[in-house]
């Protein structure tokens, strides 16, 4: 296994940020299934943080966990043609995300990726900066000294407003609360069996929950369907605003010139709302939590963002803090694939149909790849240290051709929002509030984040 030990410039503080302690007893398969269903990041034993591979042919579907960066490179890049998105995950997310960019494979994925790529180019993303800052300012204008907030929920609302604003301009008629409740319903019902299904456990969910998830889906079809239909008319009349939705309706395939069908537009709107707000919201929430635990880092970030005066290019340390936050709390903790045909991955000969799991959560806390892996140290990402990090040992946005298309969008958004919060507010955890990572497709604080906002002096 290749080594990618990141040398911290100085010894990190000794507080261990909230994380489950690996299960130290051997559990039966039934018990493992139960634990994974409950919370997939808490289900792993120490082995999964120590070994380069775990291969198990006794599950209903062959299973391979890849923790070796070279193995990750093999699956996500070198032999990418032999791997498709996990069928089980497609089945879980399919009702919500359809066959959009996140779920598609083969030619359909290729067509969608090359057609949407220009919408996320560096130039376009920069065009969104002003809107992101304006939304952040508006949201923060309601804060006052001493107020207690659920920072996780606030960040969810903030990033939801940013994605809907950049996607629909001011045509947003979708109430945040209704959308958030419907997404949470969906994730808590179908989303929670994602890991189980990845291991080949048959597709099932208790019936009342399925019904609730179905209601949530009907809500989206109705509301977002109406919005797209309205916009399609405006495009015809030449009165449509220039935003992501108009781009989805008008951008042609660079090869052949085809437009997306309305169904493909719907799937991608859902994909961008889903992939594009929960993830960044959780990243911001975890970063605020970490800053509350490490006052020195918090002070350094505050000084930097104030001096930078809104210019995110002048916030390299703040960027390091977000990168380290994404290492400890990767918003998408599991990446899964099915092998199409047989392959050799590291020392293992696998069959076609094997469920291959690559986990940012595990690999970014791997005992053989990181020094003091459970500890917070933004200096790992300082220019002098980052070359020690193996490209495929740090994968919060995935890697290879299916790397997150919204990576630039997300990093810019996180920097803009975090810098605006930290410039004015110091957030402290409400004493006694329990912080615990919970995996539901994305990684969120199980009980939210009860925090008190204190105005920063000066």
> Which parts of this chain interact with ligand HEM (CB under 6 A)?
101-102, 113, 271-272, 275-276, 279-280, 283, 331-332, 335, 396-398, 402, 404-406, 409-410
- Looking at beta carbons only, is 189 or 280 nearer to ligand HEM? 280
* Residue appearing with tokens 């302690």: 21
- Looking at beta carbons only, is 6 or 441 nearer to ligand HEM? 441
d(Cα 172, Cα 188) in Å, to the nearest integer? 25
Q: How far is the CB of 439 from ligand HEM (least distance, A)?
A: 13
Q: How far is the CB of 152 from ligand HEM (least distance, A)?
A: 14
Q: How far is the CB of 338 from ligand HEM (least distance, A)?
A: 12
Rounded to 5 degrees, what are φ and ψ at 387?
A: -70, -15
- Looking at beta carbons only, is 43 or 417 nearer to ligand HEM? 417
Rg (CA), the chain: 22
Answer yes or no: are the C-beta atoms of 266 and 224 closer than 8 Å. Answer: yes
Q: How far is the CB of 25 from ligand HEM (least distance, A)?
A: 31
- Looking at beta carbons only, is 168 or 397 nearer to ligand HEM? 397
Q: How far is the CB of 236 from ligand HEM (least distance, A)?
A: 26
d(Cα 431, Cα 451) in Å, to the nearest integer? 9
- One DSSP character per residue, 225-277 reads HHHHHHHHHHHHHT---SSHHHHHHHPPPTTT-PPPPHHHHHHHHHHHHHHHH
- Looking at beta carbons only, is 279 or 339 nearer to ligand HEM? 279
- Looking at beta carbons only, is 283 or 439 nearer to ligand HEM? 283
Answer yes or no: are the C-beta atoms of 343 and 351 closer than 8 Å. Answer: no
What is the H or E stretch that residue 337 is in? strand 335-339
What is the H or E stretch that residue 322 is in? helix 316-328
- Looking at beta carbons only, is 162 or 196 nearer to ligand HEM? 162
Burial (CB count <10 Å: 0-12, 13-18, 19+), residue 25:
exposed
Q: Which residues pair with 36 in a beta bridge?
A: none
Helices (H), 105-206: 106-116, 122-127, 129-140, 151-168, 176-189, 194-198
What is the H or E stretch that residue 344 is in? strand 343-345
Answer yes or no: are the C-beta atoms of 375 and 16 closer than 8 Å. Answer: yes
Nearest residue to 183 (alpha-carbon basis) of 157, 144, 145:
157
Order of strands, edge to edge, in the sheet holding 63-66?
A: 53-56, 63-66, 355-358, 335-339, 83-85
Q: How far is the CB of 24 from ligand HEM (least distance, A)?
A: 29
In Å, how far are 293, 332, 381, 411 from 306, measured between CA atoms?
21, 30, 21, 19
d(Cα 444, Cα 145) in Å, to the nearest integer? 26
Q: How far is the CB of 93 from ligand HEM (least distance, A)?
A: 10
Rounded to 5 degrees, what are φ and ψ at 254?
A: -60, -25
- Looking at beta carbons only, is 406 or 448 nearer to ligand HEM? 406
d(Cα 85, Cα 262) in Å, to the nearest integer? 23
- Looking at beta carbons only, is 224 or 405 nearer to ligand HEM? 405
Whose CB is nearest to ligand HEM? 406
Q: How far is the CB of 141 from ligand HEM (least distance, A)?
A: 23
- Looking at beta carbons only, is 275 or 345 nearer to ligand HEM? 275
Tokens of 161: 């407003």
- Looking at beta carbons only, is 67 or 280 nearer to ligand HEM? 280
- One DSSP character per residue, 16-31 reads --S-PPPB-S---HHH
Q: How far is the CB of 245 from ligand HEM (least distance, A)?
A: 12
- Looking at beta carbons only, is 12 or 100 nearer to ligand HEM? 100
Q: How far is the CB of 378 from ligand HEM (least distance, A)?
A: 16
Q: How far is the CB of 409 from ligand HEM (least distance, A)?
A: 5
Q: How far is the CB of 37 from ligand HEM (least distance, A)?
A: 20
d(Cα 137, Cα 309) in Å, to the nearest integer? 14
DSSP-assigned letter for residue 409: H
């Amino acid at each position: 296994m290749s080594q990618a030990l990141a040398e911290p410039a100085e010894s990190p503080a000794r507080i261990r940020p909230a994380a489950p302690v690996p299960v130290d007893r051997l559990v039966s398969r039934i018990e493992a299934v139960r634990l994974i269903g409950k919370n997939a990041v808490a289900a792993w034993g120490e082995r999964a943080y120590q070994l380069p591979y775990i291969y198990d042919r006794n599950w209903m579907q062959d299973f391979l966990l890849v923790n070796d960066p070279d193995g990750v490179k093999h699956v996500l890049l070198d032999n990418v043609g032999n791997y498709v998105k996990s069928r089980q995950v497609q089945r879980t997310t399919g009702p919500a995300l359809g066959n959009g960019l996140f779920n598609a494979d083969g030619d359909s994925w290729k067509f969608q990726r090359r057609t949407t790529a220009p919408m996320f180019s560096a130039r376009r993303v920069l065009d969104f900066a002003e809107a992101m800052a304006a939304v952040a300012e508006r949201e923060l204008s309601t804060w006052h000294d001493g107020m207690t907030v659920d920072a996780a929920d606030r960040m969810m609302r903030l990033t939801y407003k940013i994605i809907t604003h950049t996607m629909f301009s001011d045509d947003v008629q979708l109430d945040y609360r209704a959308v958030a409740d419907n997404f949470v319903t969906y994730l808590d019902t179908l989303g929670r069996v994602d890991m189980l299904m990845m291991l080949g456990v048959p597709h099932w969910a208790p019936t009342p929950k399925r019904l609730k998830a179905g209601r949530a889906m009907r809500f989206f079809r109705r509301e977002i369907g109406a919005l797209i239909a309205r916009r399609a008319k405006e495009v015809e009349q030449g009165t449509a605003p220039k935003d992501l939705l108009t781009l989805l309706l008008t951008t042609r395939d660079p090869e052949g010139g085809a437009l997306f069908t309305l169904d493909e537009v719907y799937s991608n709107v859902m994909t961008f709302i889903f992939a594009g707000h929960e993830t960044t919201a959780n990243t911001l929430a975890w970063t605020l939590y970490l800053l509350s635990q490490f006052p020195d880092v918090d002070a350094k970030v505050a000084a930097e963002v104030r001096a930078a005066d809104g210019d995110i290019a002048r916030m390299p340390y703040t960027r390091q803090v977000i990168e380290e936050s994404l290492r400890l709390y990767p918003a998408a903790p599991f990446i899964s694939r099915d092998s199409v045909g047989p392959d050799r991955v590291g020392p293992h000969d696998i069959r076609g149909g094997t469920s291959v799991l690559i986990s940012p959560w595990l690999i970014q806390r791997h005992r053989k790849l990181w020094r003091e892996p459970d500890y917070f140290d933004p200096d790992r990402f300082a220019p002098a240290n980052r070359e020690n990090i193996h490209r495929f040992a740090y994968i919060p946005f995935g890697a290879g051709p299916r790397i997150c298309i919204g990576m630039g969008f997300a990093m810019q958004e996180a920097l803009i929002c975090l810098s605006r919060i930290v410039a004015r507010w110091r957030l402290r955890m409400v004493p006694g509030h329990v912080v615990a990572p919970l995996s539901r497709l994305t990684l969120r604080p199980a009980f939210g984040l009860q925090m008190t906002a204190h105005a920063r002096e000066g």
